[in-house]
Amino acid sequence: MAASILVAGIGNMFLGDDGFGSEVVRQTELLRDDTAVRVIDYGIRGMHLAHDLLEGWDTLILVDAVPNRGSPGTLHVFQADFQADQAYWPSATGMDAHSMDPATVFARLRALGGSPPYTVVVGCEVGSVEEGIGLSEPVARAVPRAVRAVEEIVAALQIPAGAASVRKEC
């Protein structure tokens, strides 16, 4: 039986590089009608993602901008543990219906009686999250690499158990 995989692009396209996740999902060539894989641009609709996660997905691939650690455009691919990974999303507070902070989304999911699935993050260090539409040059250059990473992760997850592994960093 194939694993069910939700690929979620998140971010605010009106805040520069925060729109990274949405752009990656827009460019992915994964089949949009595959019943085992759903690809959605959630934008800033955190509540929508929390409710969709109640459907019992085996895996969530979260595509998002991550804070700048000195190298805008650097990709980070890792298995998420939002209790331990607060450095990636340090503002996990509140329950704003439009918040896309992953820890907040998972808190809402738990409040609704669900639990987060196995989660892989494909994140890109931002250059700028100032108001404006469009990605900075280093982040825009990372989009094709992120698209390939998402497609490779989906392919690896569709291989029978024990035959695939997911990279921790790119």
Predicted local confidence at residue 77, as pLDDT: 95
Q: What are phi and psi of 105, to 5 degrees?
A: -60, -45
Predicted local confidence at residue 126, as pLDDT: 94
Predicted local confidence at residue 3, as pLDDT: 77
Among the residues of 41-131, which ranges form H helices?
46-53, 102-111
Q: Spell out the domain ranges in the chain.
A: 5-158
What homologous superfamily is domain 5-158 in, according to CATH? HybD-like (3.40.50.1450)
Neighbouring residues of 69: CB distance < 8 A, sequence distance ≥ 6: 125
| pLDDT, tens only, 61-116 | 999 999 989 999 999 999 987 554 444 544 443 434 335 677 888 888 999 999 99
Distance of alpha carbon 28 from alpha carbon 1, whole angstroms: 24
Whether 169 has a pLDDT exceeding 80, the answer reads no
Query: What is the number of H-type helices and E-type strands within the chain?
Result: 4, 5
Q: Which of 4-18, 35-49, 70-84, 106-120 is the least confident region?
A: 70-84
Among the residues of the chain, which ranges form H helices?
20-27, 46-53, 102-111, 137-157
What's the whole-number mean pLDDT along residues 44-70?
A: 91
DSSP class of 65? E
Distance of alpha carbon 40 from alpha carbon 25, whole angstroms: 7
Which residue type occupies 105?
A: V
| pLDDT, tens only, 144-157 | 999 999 999 999 98
